[in-house]
Amino acid sequence: MSKVSAWAAQIRKLEPLGEKLLGVWGRSDPSEAERRDMQKLALSAVASGYLAHVNMDPARPLWAPVWNLAMNLAGPAPDFIYTTSEVDPKGVYRISGIRGKSCFVEIAQQSWVMIGGGGGSAKPVTHDLDSLAFGPDGYFSVILSAERPAGHEGDWWKLEPGTIRLLMRRCATDWRRDVDARVAIDRLDEAEPSSPADFDRRFANLAAWVEKIIEFDIGRARYYREHHGINVLTRSGLMDKAPGVAEQVYYDGAYEIADDEALIVDTALPNTCRYWSILVADDRFSTVDWLNRQSSLNMDQARIDPDGRFRAVISRRDPGVHNWLDKADNAWGVIQLRWNRASESPDPVVTKVPFAQVLEHLPAGTPVLRPEERKAQLRARREAGQLRPVW
């Protein structure tokens, strides 16, 4: 097959995905807006598939973005910068950089394969950058390998058998002032770069990558709706079993409310907690546009009531309260709350109320934002979100 025809063959594989994924989404007679939304999501999966799979080479590793506002897959937490790199479990790697000043940085070893099934059997290990030694300027360097290199006395992490991918999560709660870590990865042992045949194989996987990741996310949203319930937040047994997130407890559920209704989320807070946040996503498990809408809140962004509890309002219309979670025009979608390294995991309570009665169900004296104050809040959010190096 010629190079030109090989290119055309791979592009043809992408052509039917728009209509096919609309069917998976359940839109039998989709509107133009729905078609456009699915096309955008499919394009975001193409971008993610190219950066996180097609362009990967375990012999020449690099950190590539995998989920963010433009690649809005798998319900990304707006406080996280997600990057990934493929590795060879027999390789020797150095991860180094400048720690910065932010909530935390974790690197998880993974063995999953998006296409082709199977994968390795890596032990689910997550490494915390703060376990390392830092120089005066915050510089760190750690070796990742199956065995500690002879004579190496510095920091070392064991590379588990079966690990083929690393996922780094850089968490910031003050988007404007936190300084994200700058992290590099290098392979130290000799290894031949990927061959043209390997690139061809990865390119041939692109359509399957797009299809499977979107199908998975739609299925996950439906799972939470069917197994957790509607207008509730229930501790996620799925995530309790998920590898690499043992120190994080998730509460998930679905929302489904009319424009003249609202949900009030009410929860106690843990006595100690490294990080917590709440977000709303659509029915494809894409987080609602968090730069232009307040679709998430974290421990630094939220207003805590005088009784020490956190209360938020989920609705389409602006209720005027600080802790508004904007669900946009979605008829239904996902609510997700997470506690990270918490002393306990309080169970949130979700109550559906008429939108006009929201303030009656909140503590007396709850402040109400004027329209100009909301505009200023969202303007500050847009600026802060773009000051982070997410690309």
Which two three-digit tokens encode residue 295?
């679709």
pLDDT in tens, 341-391: 999 999 999 999 999 999 999 999 999 999 999 999 999 999 999 999 877
Rounded mean pLDDT, 16-20: 94
pLDDT tens-digit map of 114-149 = 664 444 555 679 999 999 999 999 999 999 999 999
Give the position of tokens 């995991």: 345
d(CA 38, CA 44): 10
Residue 1: pLDDT above 90?
A: no
| Total residues belonging to the chain | 391
Please give the pLDDT value at position 5: 63
CA 117 to chain centre: 22
pLDDT tens per residue, range 178-235: 999 999 999 999 999 999 999 999 999 999 999 999 999 999 999 999 999 999 999 9
pLDDT per position as a tens digit, 226-282: 999 999 999 998 887 766 666 899 999 999 999 999 999 999 999 999 999 999 999
**14 pLDDT exceeds 50?**
yes
CATH of domain 218-386: 2.60.120.1600
Higher pLDDT, 323 or 111: 323
Query: Residue with structure tokens 């971008």?
Result: 47
Q: 228: exposed, middle or buried (C-beta count within 10 Å: 0-12, 13-18, 19+)?
A: buried
Average pLDDT, the chain: 94
pLDDT of 122 reads 59
Phi, psi of 329 (to 5 degrees): -95, 10
Count of CB atoms situated within 10 Å of the CB of 20 = 15
Q: How far apart are CA 144 and CA 132, in angstroms?
A: 13
Asked if 216 contacts 117 with a C-beta cutoff of 8 angstroms, the reply is no
DSSP-derived pairing of the beta strands 126-128 and 104-110:
antiparallel
Cβ–Cβ under 8 Å, residues 143 and 152? yes
Query: Are 42 and 64 spatial neighbours (Cβ–Cβ below 8 Å)?
Result: no
